[in-house]
Chain A
Amino acid sequence: MFTKKDSSAVVNFVNYSLGISRRSPTFAVGFSIVGLFLLLAMLADFIAPYSPTQSFSYNVLNPPDGRFLLGSDGNGMDVFSRVLHGCRYAFGISIPAGLIMISIGVPLGLVAGYRGGFIDEVLLRILDVLRSFPTIILALAVVAAMGQSLTSMVLVIGVLDSPIFARVVRAEVLALRSSTFVMAAIAMGNPAWRVMFVHILPNAILGVTAQLPMRMAWAVRISATLAFIGVGIQAPTPEWGAMIRQGAEYVITGEWWVALFPGIALMLLVLGFNLLGDGLSDILDPRRRSVDK
């Protein structure tokens, strides 16, 4: 019988993948989906048969066929190529937005949770307002106000979701603050910043990592929603929300493909992110560990 040490790296890798998949199939599926889309986004230029903005005026509203795999839209552009390039926009928005969220949310939550006091109060008030305020409308108003650009959308989404991220961080920090090892660190005379970054942060990150994919899923969703309403993205940019917007006109007249495919892509990617986040929390949070039958 082979012991683990003798097994080849490949067998070990397969075993660990199976083990993780067994532990959390959601993680495995989510990871695969997101990975696939990321790959598509990076290879879009090479895979897409046509340029996403190249319009074929004699082939407007073609149903899916040999030439246009997923059909052509009202401007004669190839839906397939546009959906592929839409991946780039999805990641191009969600990744920077996610980075903004982390860079604002983590320090905010850290300080609010550890220090409490004024910053904590402010954070809680902001969360209160956000809770009652329809976020979609707020995002809408801000983007409408700041003009139609991708950057403003990324900024708005990133900043708006930071408080929610901060809240999760804060909860983790609060729980850790009263733990014995942190109290020991403080008792040993570590300055506040050191306790926060060296002792608390690494442990808080674990609980927070699962939130990030969820937030990114939301970022993709809301950017598409905003584009659907007509804000932030200008035609003929191949962004999924904008594509669905155009497709909406044609649904009643039966040209279903214009709206269907970008919607499927959107749904799948958001689903992938959500599965990834759900799966991560399954794996990382021992209390939620699945029980074998």
Chain B
Amino acid sequence: MITTRRSRIIRFLFVRLFVSIPVILGIVFLTFMLIRIGGQDPVAMIAGPVADSAMLSAIRTQLQLDQPLLQQFLNYVLLVSQGDLGVSWQGGIPVLSEIKQLFPATLELVFLSVGLAALIGVPIGMRSAFKPNGWFDQLTRFCSLAGFSMPTYWLGLMAIFVFFYLLRWAPAPMGRLGVDVATPAVVTGSVLIDCLLEGNWNALSSALSHLALPVLCFALLAAAPIIKQTRAIMLEIVGSDYVRYARANGFSKKTIEKIALRNAAGPLLTFLGLELTSLLAAAALIEYIFSLSGLGQWGLNAILLGDFAVVQGYVLTLALSSMLIFMVIDLMVLLLEPRN
């Protein structure tokens, strides 16, 4: 059977979608069960301190919390497939609209950070691999391990202390825009893009200055695994038969580097995709410290309070995004590799 490239791509997409669904269902199911089995009793939280037992049981029935767990889960899945993600118990805000509003902030932070981290990390990792065990390599290995070991939130706190408290360079870590700046009209939800679209340079610079410190901290820490993995990938390539042959042919250093880079693109992209997904979750801490009103901050809060629908919505969003990222990355790699 002769398969054309296009048919292989289409088949890949289908298989991917098919396989993702059980995984996502599994994740949502897990979250669903975990948060209900836990010790938090949301009913008491909603009802307030003065409710009596009649009110409590009434609320419980209304929220369908007295039904068997499996039944609750199936109800939930049904609602989600219709686009209804439920309502937060803090103020009754619909979960879906909150996600739409808050997720862009997280995306801004994560994409900027990963971009910066890759920009720094990949060249450093490459240079390290070309001269393994030289002084540059030892230094970067140490620095990247140090980056690995630093807690994100701690770095953020220290950065706030130095750059805000001591130096007054950075703005107060409260939100994405200064309080005295006009917010742009909401188009995409991403403040940066919306400001650009509107030509609102004032707000744009304010937004950028508020993002500077968190992105810097986040990128610094994200660079560590990128450096380590780039180095590992590169090392393997540099020791390969074809690089040895290229050397034997007397190719210039630049040419050999180009050969190495072209061969590294696939594994590197795959890894960056993984990093992206893990950073999406880790962003919660940075958002918390810098009050960036992102999805993570909101989700974190909800977990602590036991706000079921919000937590489920948060986890679902993360899981879906991860799946999407993996799919896109794998597709890109598929298209890149001449072996396909």
Take A144-B306, A256-B161, A259-B157 as given contacts and tell me if A225 and B281 are in contact as well, using a CB distance cutoff of 8 Å: no
Take A252-B160, A267-B146, A291-B132 as given contacts and tell me if A244 and B151 are in contact as well, using a CB distance cutoff of 8 Å: yes
Q: A140-B303, A267-B149 are in contact. List 13 more A-B contacts (CB 8 A).
A: A129-B30, A132-B323, A134-B282, A136-B282, A138-B31, A141-B35, A225-B285, A228-B151, A229-B304, A231-B304, A251-B161, A256-B165, A274-B145
Number of residues from A at the complex interface, CB < 8 A:
51
The 10 A-B pairs of least Cβ separation, nearest first, read A145-B38, A134-B281, A263-B154, A270-B149, A271-B149, A132-B322, A251-B161, A141-B34, A251-B157, A274-B145
Chain A residues within an 8 Å CB radius of B149: 217, 221, 267-268, 270-271, 274
Chain B residues within an 8 Å CB radius of A263: 151, 154, 157-158
Q: List 18 A-B contacts (CB under 8 A).
A: A131-B322, A132-B323, A132-B326, A134-B280, A134-B281, A135-B281, A136-B281, A137-B303, A141-B303, A144-B306, A147-B39, A229-B285, A244-B154, A248-B289, A263-B151, A270-B149, A270-B150, A271-B148
Chain B residues within an 8 Å CB radius of A293: 133
Of the listed stretches B80-88, B181-189, B209-217, B311-319, chain A binds: B311-319
B26–A129 touching, CB < 8 Å:
yes
Chain B residues within an 8 Å CB radius of A142: 34
Chain A residues within an 8 Å CB radius of B323: 132
Closest to A221 in B: B151
CA distance A145 to B306 in the complex (A): 9
A278 on interface, CB distance cutoff 8 Å: yes
Contact with B along A268-293 (1 / 0, CB 8 A): 10110011001000000000001101
Chief secondary structure at chain B's binding surface:
helix
Closest to A230 in B: B304
B151–A224 touching, CB < 8 Å:
yes
Interface residues, chain B, with chain A CB atoms under 8 Å away: 23-24, 26-27, 30-31, 34-35, 37-40, 132-133, 138, 141-142, 145-146, 148-151, 153-154, 157-158, 160-161, 164-165, 172-173, 274, 277-278, 280-282, 284-285, 288-289, 299-300, 303-304, 306, 311, 314-315, 318-319, 322-323, 326
CA distance A8 to B314 in the complex (A): 64
Closest to A275 in B: B145
CA distance A239 to B27 in the complex (A): 31
A247 on interface, CB distance cutoff 8 Å: yes
B172 to chain A, nearest CB (A): 8
B23–A132 touching, CB < 8 Å:
yes
Total contacts A-B at CB 8 Å: 148
B132–A144 touching, CB < 8 Å:
no
Tell me the chain A residues, 75-134 only, with Cβ under 8 Å from chain B. Answer: 125, 128-129, 131-134
Chain A residues within an 8 Å CB radius of B160: 251-252
Contact with B along A233-264 (1 / 0, CB 8 A): 00000000100100110011110100110010
B300–A229 touching, CB < 8 Å:
yes
A133 to chain B, nearest CB (A): 5
Point out the residue from A144, A251, A271 that lies within 8 Å of B146, measured CB to CB. A271
Point out the residue from A131, A134, A229, A278 that lies within 8 Å of B145, measured CB to CB. A278
CA distance A133 to B274 in the complex (A): 11
B132 to chain A, nearest CB (A): 7
A266 on interface, CB distance cutoff 8 Å: yes
Chain A residues within an 8 Å CB radius of B132: 290-291
B330 to chain A, nearest CB (A): 13
Chain A residues within an 8 Å CB radius of B145: 26, 271, 274-275, 278
Closest to A248 in B: B157
Chain A residues within an 8 Å CB radius of B322: 131-133
A25–B138 touching, CB < 8 Å:
yes
B319–A145 touching, CB < 8 Å:
no
B154–A266 touching, CB < 8 Å:
yes
Take A129-B30, A229-B304, A260-B158 as given contacts and tell me if A267 and B151 are in contact as well, using a CB distance cutoff of 8 Å: yes
B157–A144 touching, CB < 8 Å:
no
Point out the residue from B150, B281, B303 that lies within 8 Å of A267, measured CB to CB. B150
CA distance A147 to B149 in the complex (A): 27
